[in-house]
Chain A
Amino acid sequence: MNCDEVKRSLQDYVTRELAPEDRRVFDAHLVECGECQRELALMTAVVSTLDHQPVLEPRPGFSEKVMRSLPRQRVFLLSPWWSLVLAPLLAGLVWLFRGQAARVLEAALSRSGLSQVTVPTLSLQQAGIAGLAVVLVGLAVAVGAGAYAWQVYLRD
Protein backbone atom coordinates (compact mmCIF):
# COMPACT_ATOMS: atom_id res chain seq x y z
CA MET A 1 0.00 0.00 0.00
CA ASN A 2 1.44 3.41 -0.96
CA CYS A 3 0.64 6.83 0.53
CA ASP A 4 -2.19 7.58 -1.92
CA GLU A 5 -3.90 4.27 -1.16
CA VAL A 6 -3.48 4.85 2.57
CA LYS A 7 -5.04 8.32 2.27
CA ARG A 8 -8.00 6.85 0.38
CA SER A 9 -8.52 4.21 3.10
CA LEU A 10 -7.87 6.59 5.98
CA GLN A 11 -11.48 7.25 6.98
CA ASP A 12 -12.49 3.60 6.78
CA TYR A 13 -9.48 2.73 8.93
CA VAL A 14 -10.44 5.26 11.63
CA THR A 15 -14.12 4.23 11.62
CA ARG A 16 -13.12 0.53 11.63
CA GLU A 17 -14.78 -0.19 8.30
CA LEU A 18 -11.59 -1.47 6.66
CA ALA A 19 -11.29 -5.21 6.03
CA PRO A 20 -8.85 -6.96 8.46
CA GLU A 21 -6.38 -7.82 5.69
CA ASP A 22 -6.30 -4.22 4.41
CA ARG A 23 -5.94 -3.04 7.98
CA ARG A 24 -2.78 -5.11 8.43
CA VAL A 25 -1.28 -3.66 5.21
CA PHE A 26 -2.29 -0.19 6.34
CA ASP A 27 -0.59 -0.68 9.74
CA ALA A 28 2.59 -1.93 8.03
CA HIS A 29 2.75 1.23 5.91
CA LEU A 30 2.10 3.49 8.91
CA VAL A 31 5.12 2.20 10.81
CA GLU A 32 7.47 3.63 8.25
CA CYS A 33 5.61 6.73 6.96
CA GLY A 34 5.58 9.92 9.04
CA GLU A 35 3.27 11.80 6.65
CA CYS A 36 0.58 9.11 6.84
CA GLN A 37 0.93 9.03 10.65
CA ARG A 38 0.16 12.75 10.62
CA GLU A 39 -2.87 12.22 8.36
CA LEU A 40 -4.11 9.48 10.67
CA ALA A 41 -3.69 11.65 13.78
CA LEU A 42 -5.66 14.48 12.16
CA MET A 43 -8.49 12.24 10.95
CA THR A 44 -8.66 10.52 14.36
CA ALA A 45 -9.09 13.94 16.01
CA VAL A 46 -11.91 14.81 13.58
CA VAL A 47 -13.77 11.50 13.92
CA SER A 48 -13.33 11.35 17.68
CA THR A 49 -14.76 14.86 18.09
CA LEU A 50 -17.69 14.02 15.82
CA ASP A 51 -18.35 10.78 17.69
CA HIS A 52 -18.40 12.50 21.08
CA GLN A 53 -20.66 15.44 20.44
CA PRO A 54 -22.62 16.23 23.59
CA VAL A 55 -26.41 15.96 23.83
CA LEU A 56 -27.76 19.52 23.95
CA GLU A 57 -30.82 20.26 26.06
CA PRO A 58 -33.52 22.72 25.02
CA ARG A 59 -34.52 25.52 27.39
CA PRO A 60 -36.48 24.58 30.53
CA GLY A 61 -40.21 24.33 29.87
CA PHE A 62 -39.72 22.84 26.40
CA SER A 63 -41.66 19.63 27.15
CA GLU A 64 -44.57 21.54 28.66
CA LYS A 65 -44.66 23.79 25.58
CA VAL A 66 -44.78 20.74 23.31
CA MET A 67 -47.56 19.11 25.34
CA ARG A 68 -49.62 22.33 25.33
CA SER A 69 -49.31 22.53 21.54
CA LEU A 70 -50.62 19.03 20.78
CA PRO A 71 -53.85 19.03 18.78
CA ARG A 72 -56.48 17.46 21.05
CA GLN A 73 -58.55 15.68 18.35
CA ARG A 74 -55.59 13.99 16.64
CA VAL A 75 -56.74 10.37 16.64
CA PHE A 76 -60.17 11.18 15.25
CA LEU A 77 -59.09 13.69 12.63
CA LEU A 78 -56.00 11.99 11.28
CA SER A 79 -57.15 8.43 10.97
CA PRO A 80 -58.08 7.83 7.32
CA TRP A 81 -60.57 5.13 8.31
CA TRP A 82 -62.98 7.43 10.10
CA SER A 83 -64.24 8.67 6.74
CA LEU A 84 -65.56 5.17 6.02
CA VAL A 85 -67.80 5.51 9.09
CA LEU A 86 -68.57 9.17 8.57
CA ALA A 87 -69.60 8.89 4.92
CA PRO A 88 -72.63 6.58 5.46
CA LEU A 89 -73.42 8.48 8.68
CA LEU A 90 -73.66 11.76 6.79
CA ALA A 91 -75.74 10.14 4.04
CA GLY A 92 -78.06 8.71 6.74
CA LEU A 93 -78.43 12.14 8.37
CA VAL A 94 -79.34 13.69 5.04
CA TRP A 95 -82.01 10.99 4.56
CA LEU A 96 -83.32 11.45 8.10
CA PHE A 97 -83.72 15.19 7.63
CA ARG A 98 -84.84 14.97 4.02
CA GLY A 99 -88.08 16.83 4.76
CA GLN A 100 -86.32 19.88 6.19
CA ALA A 101 -83.61 19.67 3.51
CA ALA A 102 -86.28 19.59 0.79
CA ARG A 103 -87.98 22.72 2.17
CA VAL A 104 -84.66 24.61 2.36
CA LEU A 105 -83.79 23.47 -1.15
CA GLU A 106 -87.21 24.44 -2.51
CA ALA A 107 -86.95 27.91 -0.99
CA ALA A 108 -83.46 28.34 -2.48
CA LEU A 109 -84.60 27.15 -5.92
CA SER A 110 -87.65 29.42 -6.01
CA ARG A 111 -85.40 32.39 -5.09
CA SER A 112 -83.07 31.52 -7.95
CA GLY A 113 -85.94 30.93 -10.41
CA LEU A 114 -85.07 27.27 -11.01
CA SER A 115 -88.18 25.76 -9.35
CA GLN A 116 -89.63 24.64 -12.71
CA VAL A 117 -86.62 22.48 -13.57
CA THR A 118 -87.42 18.73 -13.49
CA VAL A 119 -85.12 15.75 -13.42
CA PRO A 120 -86.23 12.53 -15.15
CA THR A 121 -87.39 9.79 -12.69
CA LEU A 122 -86.54 11.99 -9.64
CA SER A 123 -88.26 15.05 -8.29
CA LEU A 124 -86.03 18.09 -8.03
CA GLN A 125 -86.05 17.81 -4.25
CA GLN A 126 -84.96 14.16 -4.36
CA ALA A 127 -82.22 15.01 -6.84
CA GLY A 128 -81.08 17.89 -4.61
CA ILE A 129 -80.98 15.67 -1.52
CA ALA A 130 -79.10 12.98 -3.40
CA GLY A 131 -76.65 15.64 -4.66
CA LEU A 132 -76.13 16.94 -1.11
CA ALA A 133 -75.50 13.42 0.15
CA VAL A 134 -72.96 12.82 -2.64
CA VAL A 135 -71.17 16.10 -1.83
CA LEU A 136 -70.97 15.27 1.89
CA VAL A 137 -69.79 11.72 1.28
CA GLY A 138 -67.22 13.02 -1.24
CA LEU A 139 -66.00 15.54 1.32
CA ALA A 140 -65.62 12.85 3.97
CA VAL A 141 -63.70 10.61 1.56
CA ALA A 142 -61.48 13.50 0.43
CA VAL A 143 -60.55 14.37 4.03
CA GLY A 144 -59.88 10.69 4.73
CA ALA A 145 -57.67 10.44 1.63
CA GLY A 146 -55.82 13.60 2.68
CA ALA A 147 -55.20 12.12 6.12
CA TYR A 148 -53.94 8.92 4.50
CA ALA A 149 -51.58 10.86 2.20
CA TRP A 150 -50.20 12.72 5.23
CA GLN A 151 -49.58 9.44 7.02
CA VAL A 152 -47.82 7.99 3.97
CA TYR A 153 -45.57 11.08 3.90
CA LEU A 154 -44.51 10.53 7.49
CA ARG A 155 -44.72 6.74 7.51
CA ASP A 156 -41.85 4.58 8.71
Chain B
Amino acid sequence: MSRYMESVSEQVLVSRSARGDEQAFGVLVERYKGMLYSMSRRLMKDPGRAEDAAQESFIKAWAALPGFKGESKFSSWLYRICYNTCISELRKRKPEVELDEAMGVPVEGPVQEFRNRDIQATIQEEVSKLPDDYRAALTLYHFNGLSYEEIAKLTRKPMGTVKAHIHRARAALKTRLLERVGWDNLKEVMWQ
Protein backbone atom coordinates (compact mmCIF):
# COMPACT_ATOMS: atom_id res chain seq x y z
CA MET B 1 0.00 0.00 0.00
CA SER B 2 1.49 3.35 -1.01
CA ARG B 3 2.26 6.10 1.48
CA TYR B 4 0.22 8.45 -0.66
CA MET B 5 -2.91 6.32 -0.24
CA GLU B 6 -2.39 6.15 3.51
CA SER B 7 -2.37 9.93 3.71
CA VAL B 8 -5.52 10.43 1.63
CA SER B 9 -8.54 11.75 3.57
CA GLU B 10 -11.32 9.38 4.55
CA GLN B 11 -13.87 11.22 2.41
CA VAL B 12 -11.74 10.72 -0.70
CA LEU B 13 -11.09 7.08 0.15
CA VAL B 14 -14.82 6.44 0.62
CA SER B 15 -15.69 8.16 -2.64
CA ARG B 16 -12.98 6.27 -4.58
CA SER B 17 -14.04 2.98 -3.00
CA ALA B 18 -17.64 3.67 -4.03
CA ARG B 19 -16.40 3.93 -7.63
CA GLY B 20 -14.69 0.53 -7.34
CA ASP B 21 -11.14 1.51 -6.34
CA GLU B 22 -9.91 -1.54 -4.43
CA GLN B 23 -6.70 0.13 -3.33
CA ALA B 24 -8.66 2.89 -1.61
CA PHE B 25 -10.93 0.34 0.05
CA GLY B 26 -7.84 -1.57 1.21
CA VAL B 27 -6.74 1.54 3.13
CA LEU B 28 -10.17 1.75 4.79
CA VAL B 29 -9.94 -1.94 5.73
CA GLU B 30 -6.53 -1.30 7.33
CA ARG B 31 -7.89 1.72 9.22
CA TYR B 32 -11.03 0.06 10.53
CA LYS B 33 -10.12 -3.61 10.91
CA GLY B 34 -9.17 -3.18 14.59
CA MET B 35 -12.38 -1.33 15.46
CA LEU B 36 -14.61 -3.72 13.55
CA TYR B 37 -12.91 -6.84 14.84
CA SER B 38 -12.95 -5.53 18.44
CA MET B 39 -16.62 -4.72 18.12
CA SER B 40 -17.56 -8.09 16.65
CA ARG B 41 -15.31 -9.90 19.15
CA ARG B 42 -17.14 -8.19 22.02
CA LEU B 43 -20.53 -8.99 20.52
CA MET B 44 -19.81 -12.53 19.33
CA LYS B 45 -17.24 -13.51 22.00
CA ASP B 46 -15.75 -16.37 19.93
CA PRO B 47 -12.62 -15.09 18.07
CA GLY B 48 -13.22 -17.21 14.95
CA ARG B 49 -16.83 -16.15 14.55
CA ALA B 50 -15.85 -12.55 15.32
CA GLU B 51 -13.30 -12.57 12.51
CA ASP B 52 -15.84 -14.04 10.08
CA ALA B 53 -18.38 -11.36 11.07
CA ALA B 54 -15.81 -8.57 10.63
CA GLN B 55 -14.83 -9.93 7.22
CA GLU B 56 -18.48 -10.25 6.15
CA SER B 57 -19.11 -6.67 7.32
CA PHE B 58 -16.32 -5.32 5.10
CA ILE B 59 -17.62 -7.30 2.11
CA LYS B 60 -21.16 -5.97 2.68
CA ALA B 61 -19.77 -2.45 3.04
CA TRP B 62 -17.88 -2.78 -0.25
CA ALA B 63 -21.06 -3.96 -1.99
CA ALA B 64 -23.19 -1.20 -0.48
CA LEU B 65 -20.73 1.70 -0.86
CA PRO B 66 -22.28 3.07 -4.09
CA GLY B 67 -25.43 3.72 -2.04
CA PHE B 68 -23.60 5.47 0.84
CA LYS B 69 -24.83 9.06 0.76
CA GLY B 70 -22.52 10.43 3.44
CA GLU B 71 -25.43 11.59 5.60
CA SER B 72 -23.81 9.91 8.59
CA LYS B 73 -20.16 9.35 9.43
CA PHE B 74 -18.55 6.50 7.49
CA SER B 75 -17.54 4.88 10.79
CA SER B 76 -21.15 4.91 12.10
CA TRP B 77 -22.34 3.41 8.82
CA LEU B 78 -19.70 0.69 9.07
CA TYR B 79 -20.59 -0.03 12.72
CA ARG B 80 -24.21 -0.43 11.73
CA ILE B 81 -23.32 -3.03 9.10
CA CYS B 82 -21.12 -4.84 11.63
CA TYR B 83 -23.81 -4.67 14.34
CA ASN B 84 -26.48 -6.05 11.96
CA THR B 85 -24.16 -8.85 10.85
CA CYS B 86 -23.27 -9.87 14.42
CA ILE B 87 -26.80 -9.64 15.81
CA SER B 88 -28.34 -11.63 12.96
CA GLU B 89 -25.62 -14.28 13.41
CA LEU B 90 -26.19 -14.39 17.18
CA ARG B 91 -29.96 -14.70 16.79
CA LYS B 92 -29.54 -17.64 14.44
CA ARG B 93 -27.76 -19.60 17.13
CA LYS B 94 -29.35 -18.95 20.49
CA PRO B 95 -32.50 -17.51 22.07
CA GLU B 96 -32.38 -14.20 23.91
CA VAL B 97 -32.18 -14.35 27.71
CA GLU B 98 -33.02 -11.89 30.47
CA LEU B 99 -30.29 -9.98 32.30
CA ASP B 100 -30.69 -11.82 35.64
CA GLU B 101 -30.70 -15.19 33.92
CA ALA B 102 -27.63 -14.36 31.84
CA MET B 103 -25.56 -13.18 34.80
CA GLY B 104 -26.11 -16.53 36.60
CA VAL B 105 -26.05 -17.24 40.31
CA PRO B 106 -23.99 -15.13 42.71
CA VAL B 107 -20.54 -16.50 43.57
CA GLU B 108 -19.78 -17.91 47.03
CA GLY B 109 -17.59 -15.12 48.34
CA PRO B 110 -14.83 -12.71 47.39
CA VAL B 111 -11.37 -13.99 46.48
CA GLN B 112 -8.47 -13.18 48.73
CA GLU B 113 -5.66 -11.70 46.66
CA PHE B 114 -6.48 -9.12 44.06
CA ARG B 115 -4.66 -6.69 41.81
CA ASN B 116 -5.86 -3.76 39.75
CA ARG B 117 -5.72 -5.64 36.45
CA ASP B 118 -7.83 -8.38 38.05
CA ILE B 119 -10.62 -5.85 38.55
CA GLN B 120 -10.56 -5.10 34.82
CA ALA B 121 -10.43 -8.80 33.94
CA THR B 122 -13.38 -9.51 36.25
CA ILE B 123 -15.45 -6.74 34.67
CA GLN B 124 -14.57 -7.94 31.14
CA GLU B 125 -15.53 -11.48 32.07
CA GLU B 126 -18.86 -10.31 33.46
CA VAL B 127 -19.48 -8.18 30.34
CA SER B 128 -19.18 -11.32 28.22
CA LYS B 129 -22.04 -12.89 30.23
CA LEU B 130 -24.48 -10.04 29.54
CA PRO B 131 -27.41 -10.67 27.15
CA ASP B 132 -26.62 -9.71 23.54
CA ASP B 133 -28.67 -6.49 23.49
CA TYR B 134 -27.10 -5.20 26.71
CA ARG B 135 -23.58 -6.12 25.65
CA ALA B 136 -24.11 -4.51 22.24
CA ALA B 137 -25.41 -1.24 23.73
CA LEU B 138 -22.55 -1.15 26.25
CA THR B 139 -19.94 -1.82 23.54
CA LEU B 140 -21.35 0.80 21.16
CA TYR B 141 -21.45 3.41 23.95
CA HIS B 142 -18.15 2.80 25.71
CA PHE B 143 -15.94 1.25 23.03
CA ASN B 144 -17.24 2.81 19.81
CA GLY B 145 -18.01 6.11 21.52
CA LEU B 146 -21.53 6.48 20.10
CA SER B 147 -24.20 8.59 21.81
CA TYR B 148 -27.51 7.15 23.07
CA GLU B 149 -29.20 8.71 20.04
CA GLU B 150 -26.74 7.17 17.59
CA ILE B 151 -27.10 3.75 19.24
CA ALA B 152 -30.90 4.01 19.12
CA LYS B 153 -30.75 4.81 15.41
CA LEU B 154 -28.25 2.08 14.67
CA THR B 155 -30.03 -0.65 16.64
CA ARG B 156 -33.52 0.59 15.67
CA LYS B 157 -34.56 0.64 19.35
CA PRO B 158 -36.15 3.49 21.32
CA MET B 159 -33.58 5.72 23.04
CA GLY B 160 -35.17 4.97 26.44
CA THR B 161 -34.59 1.25 25.89
CA VAL B 162 -30.97 1.81 24.92
CA LYS B 163 -30.36 3.96 27.98
CA ALA B 164 -32.11 1.45 30.25
CA HIS B 165 -30.01 -1.42 28.82
CA ILE B 166 -26.78 0.48 29.45
CA HIS B 167 -27.78 1.55 32.98
CA ARG B 168 -28.99 -1.91 33.97
CA ALA B 169 -25.88 -3.55 32.51
CA ARG B 170 -23.54 -1.22 34.43
CA ALA B 171 -25.52 -1.78 37.65
CA ALA B 172 -25.30 -5.56 37.16
CA LEU B 173 -21.54 -5.31 36.57
CA LYS B 174 -21.12 -3.24 39.73
CA THR B 175 -23.02 -5.81 41.78
CA ARG B 176 -21.03 -8.72 40.36
CA LEU B 177 -17.73 -6.90 40.90
CA LEU B 178 -18.57 -6.42 44.57
CA GLU B 179 -19.69 -10.05 44.95
CA ARG B 180 -16.62 -11.49 43.28
CA VAL B 181 -13.93 -9.26 44.70
CA GLY B 182 -15.30 -7.99 48.00
CA TRP B 183 -15.19 -4.40 49.19
CA ASP B 184 -12.09 -4.83 51.37
CA ASN B 185 -10.04 -6.10 48.40
CA LEU B 186 -11.41 -3.47 46.05
CA LYS B 187 -10.74 -0.65 48.47
CA GLU B 188 -7.16 -1.78 48.93
CA VAL B 189 -6.52 -2.04 45.18
CA MET B 190 -8.36 1.10 44.08
CA TRP B 191 -6.98 3.42 46.72
CA GLN B 192 -3.44 2.09 47.05
A153–chain B nearest beta-carbon distance, Å:
8
A70 touches B22 (CB 8 A): yes
Encoded as 1 (CB less than 8 Å from any B CB) or 0, chain A from 117 to 156 comes to 0000000000000000000000000000000001110111
Query: Is A1's CB within 8 Å of the partner chain B?
Result: no
B54–chain A nearest beta-carbon distance, Å:
6
Given contacts A46-B123, A62-B33, A78-B63, contact A53 B25 (CB under 8 A): no
Query: Is B10's CB within 8 Å of the partner chain A?
Result: no
Residues on the B chain within 8 Å of A74, using CB:
20, 62-63, 65-66
Q: Which of B30-85 contact A (CB under 8 A)?
A: 30, 33-35, 37-38, 41-42, 50-51, 54-55, 58-72, 76-77, 80-81, 84
B55 touches A66 (CB 8 A): yes
* A79 CA / B120 CA spacing, docked (Å): 47
Encoded as 1 (CB less than 8 Å from any B CB) or 0, chain A from 48 to 69 comes to 0111011111110011011101
* A55 CA / B25 CA spacing, docked (Å): 21
A38 touches B72 (CB 8 A): no
Q: Which of A2-53 contact B (CB under 8 A)?
A: 11, 38-39, 41-43, 45-47, 49-51, 53
Main secondary structure of the interface of A (DSSP, over half): helix
Residues on the A chain within 8 Å of B174, using CB:
39, 42-43, 46
* A84 CA / B166 CA spacing, docked (Å): 46
Residues on the B chain within 8 Å of A42, using CB:
174, 177-178, 186
A70 touches B25 (CB 8 A): yes
A63 touches B29 (CB 8 A): yes
A62 touches B51 (CB 8 A): yes
B66 touches A55 (CB 8 A): no
B59 touches A71 (CB 8 A): yes
B20 touches A75 (CB 8 A): yes
Q: Which among B25, B33, B63, B171 is the interface contact of A58 at CB below 8 angstroms?
A: B33
B55 touches A69 (CB 8 A): yes
B26 touches A67 (CB 8 A): yes
Residues on the A chain within 8 Å of B123, using CB:
45-46, 49-50
Residues on the A chain within 8 Å of B38, using CB:
53-56
Q: Which among A38, A70, A156 is the interface contact of B70 at CB below 8 angstroms?
A: A156
Query: Is B187's CB within 8 Å of the partner chain A?
Result: yes
* A70 CA / B187 CA spacing, docked (Å): 52
B44–chain A nearest beta-carbon distance, Å:
12
Chosen A-B contacts, 6 in total, with CB atoms closer than 8 Å, are A41-B186, A47-B142, A53-B143, A55-B38, A56-B37, A65-B55
B residues sitting closer than 8 Å to A (CB atoms) are: 19-20, 22, 25-26, 29-30, 33-35, 37-38, 41-42, 50-51, 54-55, 58-72, 76-77, 80-81, 84, 119-120, 123-124, 127, 138, 142-143, 167, 170-171, 173-174, 177-178, 183, 186-187, 190-191
| 7 other A-B residue contacts (CB within 8 Å) besides A69-B59, A155-B64, A155-B68 | A56-B41, A63-B33, A70-B62, A74-B62, A78-B67, A150-B64, A156-B72
A residues sitting closer than 8 Å to B (CB atoms) are: 11, 38-39, 41-43, 45-47, 49-51, 53-59, 62-63, 65-67, 69-71, 74-75, 78-79, 150-152, 154-156
